[in-house]
Structure 1
Amino acid sequence: MKRRPLSMLLAPLALLACTQAAAATVIDVTKTPWCGCCSEWVERMEAAGFTVTTRDVDKLDPVARAAGVPDTLRSCHTARVEGYTIEGHVPAADIRRLLASRPDAVGLSVPGMVAGSPGMEVPGRSDPYMVVLIGRDGKHRVWARYEGGAPAHRH
């Protein structure tokens, strides 16, 4: 009988565990059917390894309100991932950091539709923007700042 190294025997199990972990991170996106930048953001999240489902609605305000997003932090789509709300064009790295640190919060938002944020890329233009952590108490704070598309500061 030929002996195999333990690593060869465990490799398939490790691969299965990684595959299941990646498949477990599902982002459910609610958007309007006519919003192209929302579809672009979905593509960015899929490219980052998330599994994304989408639901089209005519009115987003009731969805965002029910998800705990204040009017001042709204954008063009509202998503849910592992109990958190993701409003707008939040970068995948910030969603991963949120899921890893598990703060007691509603979720994250990139208010508005900022040129240079994921899904809002504009050739030759990338505006600074903030990712905001929405607290359950109605308060919010800066989670990350981006200057020209690159992270400038993470809190």
Structure 2
Amino acid sequence: MDAPAGTAVAAVEPLPDHPREPIPLDAEAPIAMRVYMSPTCGCCSLWVEHLEENGFEVESIHRHDMGDVKAALGVVPQLSSCHTGVVNGYVMEGHIPAADIRAFLAEAPDAHGLAVPGMPIGSPGMEMGDRIDPYDVLAFDSDGTFRVFNSHGM
């Protein structure tokens, strides 16, 4: 969905302020996720395809004001990437593997979300042959503090 030039852009849906329920790893129903992304970003579309191939039902929302979207959803600049998702009240920033999102949702931790800062080669949507640069998936809080949730390409 993309707003025509000169029209008002809908506000970013706020996150819930209540505890989130875990989503079991073996959940058979698709997991709904809203993804905000630039309409011109090819790697964002590839990441959405990765999610859909792994049991997510994605609503893609094209925005030209991604900095504003990230600010509204509490993504601090040092954790940012090119797209931002919202699933079960959590923020998902960047090229996070679907398996890590599922594991995080099964835990339902007291955190703001997950992030893969930047655009690491070999992460979902950033594939380049067999090359996988090492990267961390970070669990982060609304104040920007974070911890390593999982590591890839090590």
TM-score bracket, shorter-length normalisation: 0.7 to 0.9
1:67 equivalent to 2:44? Answer no
TM-score (norm 2): 0.79
Q: Which structure's CA Rg is the greater one?
A: 1
Task: Return the structure number with greater strand share.
Answer: 1
Equivalent of 2:29 in 22, 29, 53 = 22
Task: Supply the distance in 1 between the matched residues of 2:151 and 2:134 (Cα, whole angstroms).
Answer: 7
Q: Contact 1:104/1:136 (CA < 8 Å) preserved in 2?
A: no
CA RMSD of superposed structures (Å): 1.3
Query: Structure 1 CA distance, aligned partners of 2:110 and 2:142?
Result: 7
SS at match of 2:133: coil
- What SS does the aligned partner of 1:53 have? strand
1:43 to 27, 38, 49: 49
Which structure would you say has the larger RCO, counting Cα contacts within 8 Å and 6 or more residues apart?
A: 2
Percent identity (aligned): 48
Q: Structure 1 regions of 5+ residues with no counterpart? A: 1-19
- Indicate the residue corresponding to 2:5 in structure 1: none
Question: Please, which runs of 5 or more residues in structure 2 have no aligned partner?
Answer: 1-26
TM-score, structure 1 as length reference: 0.79
Aligned pair count reads 128
What's the secondary structure of 1:126's corresponding residue?
Answer: coil
Task: Tell me, yes or no, if structure 1 residue 118 matches structure 2 residue 124.
Answer: yes
Q: Deviation per CA, 1:54-104, whole angstroms, max 9, x where unpaired?
A: 000112111111111110000000000000000000001111011100111
